[in-house]
Amino acid sequence: MSSHLIAAQTRAVTKSFGSGTSRIEVLHDVNLNTYESEILMLLGPSGCGKTTLISIIAGTLTPDRGEVTVLGQELHKMSKAAITKFRARNVGFIFQQFNLIPTITCEENACVPLLIQGMSMSRALPHAREMLAQVGLQEHMKKRPNQLSGGQQQRVAIARALVHKPRLIICDEPTAALDAENGRMVMELFRSLIRQPGRCALVVTHDHRILHFADRIATMNDGKIIESVPTEEFDFEHHQ
Ligand SMILES: Nc1ncnc2c1ncn2[C@@H]1O[C@H](COP(=O)(O)OP(=O)(O)O)[C@@H](O)[C@H]1O
Ligand SMILES: [Mg+2]
């Protein structure tokens, strides 16, 4: 299943927040590999540093020390502007909070990554509608986010993150607000999108219902990766 080519890698990544005596190191020398064509799920208790780590891989947060290589690009050697441009083209980030724009429709929300890349709204809309249909929202495209349920809003956020067919899909608890059926739909969509070479998905989750969609499962605790194994080697009973 995995070609074992590395898609994203962190080496000895360290990150602290705060300053002076209230400075706290939340990532300690984190080494993590994600491989092409793989869905990697990242598990770990609240506060252990999952969101911090995936934000560093996505390029939205800079580590204090360490190396981050994503799709062959060494982010630690790139300027902020170059990282922003790289991220806009190659990364689809699904936030824990959906971050939808409340004043525009769902289809307009789903266009945003394409607009950022300079596409016109009229050219972007068909792509947005296609992706919204793939997450089962064809009936709701003209509504504003507050006219939808939490699970539907989460699917709009997913469609928006995927509309530009990013090579790296990163999502922070993508199925938290979804029922089993929609959770499965979203994981199957990820699977179909990463089938092309050079793509992968990194998914933070607490949701044991979707763990079997992973190719590899990494476990984090207290700012460190403590295990990263193929799903068939993962000890499900121990982690219930
Ligand atoms: N911007 C920030 N400023 C200060 N502390 C932060 C910030 N972001 C995260 N933290 C702290 O870093 C630790 C790890 O947070 P986070 O990466 O969000 O964990 P997780 O996603 O695993 O719940 C927590 O103790 C959190 O309070
Ligand atoms: Mg988090």
Instruction: Flag whether 116 is in a domain.
Output: yes
Q: What is the CA radius of gyration of the chain?
A: 18
Instruction: Flag whether 111 is in a domain.
Output: yes
pLDDT-derived band at 9 (thresholds 50, 70, 90) equals very high
Residue located nearest, by CA, to atom 5 of ligand 1: 17
pLDDT of residue 1: 46
13 φ/ψ angles, rounded to the nearest 5 degrees: -80, 125
pLDDT-derived band at 145 (thresholds 50, 70, 90) equals very high
The verdict on the CB of residue 50 being under 6 Å from ligand 1 is: yes
Amino acid at position 48, single letter: C
Q: Quick check: 4 pLDDT over 90?
A: no
Q: What average pLDDT does the structure give for the chain?
A: 92
Higher pLDDT, 236 or 9: 9
- Which region among 6-15, 98-107, 175-184, 218-227 has the lowest average model confidence (pLDDT)? 175-184
The verdict on the CB of residue 45 being under 6 Å from ligand 1 is: no
Instruction: Flag whether 169 is in a domain.
Output: yes
- What is the three-class DSSP state of 26? strand
CATH number at 54 reads 3.40.50.300
Q: How far is the CA of 125 from the centre of ligand 2 (A)?
A: 31
Instruction: Flag whether 189 is in a domain.
Output: yes
Q: How far is the CA of 60 from the centre of ligand 1 (A)?
A: 14
pLDDT > 90: percent of the chain: 77
Domain count within the chain: 1
E runs forming strands in 24-131: 24-35, 39-43, 65-70, 73-74, 91-94
Pairing of strands 224-230, 65-70: unpaired
Instruction: Flag whether 1 is in a domain.
Output: no
Residue located nearest, by CA, to atom 3 of ligand 1: 17
**What ligand has the least distance to the C-alpha of 95?**
2
Instruction: Flag whether 240 is in a domain.
Output: no
The verdict on the CB of residue 48 being under 6 Å from ligand 1 is: yes
Instruction: Flag whether 239 is in a domain.
Output: no
Instruction: Flag whether 238 is in a domain.
Output: no
* Host domain of residue 28: 6-233
